Chain A
Amino acid sequence: MGSHAHYREAHPLVFVITHWINLICMVMLAFSGFYIHFPFFSAGFMGVARGMHFVAMYVILINLVFRIVAAFFVKTANQLETREVDTDIKNWLPQAENKHQLVETLKYYLFFRKEGVISGKYGSLQKIAYLATVPLTFIQAYTGFAIYAPFADASFLAAGTTLVGGPMNMRIIHYFGMWVFILFTMVHAYLANIYNFAPSKIIFLWKETLPEGKH
């Protein structure tokens, strides 16, 4: 890591764009969501907030589906610091390098070991966290639609509302779902940037960081 190389092959332009879309939608969703939860200023914003919330959710859903499909077609770097590529989805799922490393990764982050751990394209914890955002997004979509009046009566949604004990509980789950995303984003942003900002440069600006001495 550290001053290691970050090549464009790790994040092809299409995924830089999907990442941007995710970020913008997430910010819009959290902001409008908090506003809908409790309107903290009065400026005729509720209609806008609701519109924003719905649009951002549709966009993020479409984006997610596109991202999943693209993972089966687009090739990305299969390891850190390499231009060697493989089908993207393979680099998401556990790779040989990830095997037996989950506990070691935890130990590393909890300062129980000094050396960094060998990983595939992403570390074990990282993969779990990233992959978890997929079902979490669908849960947010599901709980959101379940408390959205025009859809709430659909039997697929109504059954879930019954299961959790009514619309109020559904609302609370939706609310906590947002907190999970906030926590994810905090940890994600922190760990991505704790060593240096090279990861941000590549994912936001698509600017490569070359290995030392190779300018």
Chain B
Amino acid sequence: MTRAVIDPVTRIEGHLRVECEVTDGVVKDAWVSGQLYRGMETVMLDRQPEDAFYVTQRICGVCPISHSHASSMSTEAALGIAIPNNARLIRNLLEAAQFLHSHILWFYTLAALDYVSPINALSADIADTYALAQAAGTRVADFGAIAKRLTAFAENGQLSFLGGHYWDHPGYVLPPELDLIATAHYLEALEMQAVANEIVAVIGGKFPHPMTSVPGGTAFVPTEQKLDDILFNFIRVKEFIDTALIPDTLAIAPFILETTTYGGGCGNFLSWGVFEAADMDAYNRFLPRGFVTGGLKVEEVGPDDVTEYVEHSWYDSASGLNPSKGETHVKFDEYNTDAKYTYGKSARCKEKPAEVGPLARMVNAYVYEAGGKSLVPDEWAGSVRTPKALIDLTLEALGVAGKPEILVSLLGRVAARNLEAAYVADLALMWVGELVGGIQGGDSEFFKARETFDGAGSGLWEAPRGSVGHWIDIKGNKIKGYQVVAPTTWDIAPRDAAGVLGPMEQALVGAPVFDVERPLEMLRIAHSFDP
């Protein structure tokens, strides 16, 4: 029995510690600790509702758009504003750009180095690399030049940000040619995530922390030139997803199939839903709302189903509260896995731990489609690959057709994110079409002013990494209460009052650990949640 610890978990947003009890090479118990407390809620008190839109998105520099949308939606719910259709489409486009940015960045920049070794790529045979790329249907780069660049980099003796890693760990199983392809795409991904963010900049002024999805609609009024830029960049990103992200996933998966056997977690999948449909019904969003808890059963779910426990968190406020009545009184004592060990609160949905993120959304979408409903309007059905179609195709490609349950695993979580990117890229092109059509049809409404100054409401939405909820209470145009349940709160939740482990903790339990000094498997599982 040994304790294996990763602190800090790098290549994430924020500060995370993962500790596991390992017996005979298998994780028996796990503790996930959020190591930073900043306190957003109190800053918002007694300020005006729009201030919350601008400030609260700064909780997360990777998913500010989702926070800003959740914040604006909470204010709109509180003040009874229905945003215009143009604003709905523009927000969907902005959110889509962030999803694509985030998923590309996650797979290549944050997660790939758990599977891909740029050092091993040095021994690749260039001709074989071209052959492999062709066979895998993935995009070709000047592999010879990249190999040369890597060699130059390695030979200068300063490994920079690649230094100190477990490159000789036996978990790195890819052939050098595939390592070289993935490394080439790693470099290209840096470019593509920035292209996705140019879309954000066009609509929102800048990324991170865009400025225009203000409560009531959008401050962005598109011109023909700007719509052209948006469309052009979405096409570029979509092309990268189809020719690199998806084929790379499919090319790597066969080498790491054992990762389908662990890392599944709690099996409860929450999605608040994201990408608003024309009817503005959360259960009909393009990635619909729902709570899937066993097999293909889906339940309705709403803001009142959330409770937060702090028995194992460094707070001395009351436990088991709904965020609308939430309290946040921080009180650090010591890190103790038997008592309190994290700044993360234990968020529970209908009293159950809930995994959020792409896997949870894709499961919910899959169940939605499996129930015979269609996610995409008929006139666009031919140009959008839906979640079920993408999942079924992937299962077939991996030779496990008809076994979607295999996706409740580490590999499933990785694949779900990339498949979701493909779906969102298709949707984005559709929305650009709809927006252009609407504007040409004479719709020039982008914003609705509010008429009241009092109310309470919640905005439940999805960030690339999972479900995000903002709760606001407004009296006399001033914020009297504000609470945020961020995606990470769900996934890195500690034990609750009953001692039930959080989703990431449950995913870690049962995972093999080959070398407790270099717990690569734990790192992979932690990264798979994009915490």
Please determine if A and B sit in direct contact within the complex, based on CB atoms under 8 angstroms apart: no
Binding site for A on B (CB under 8 A): none
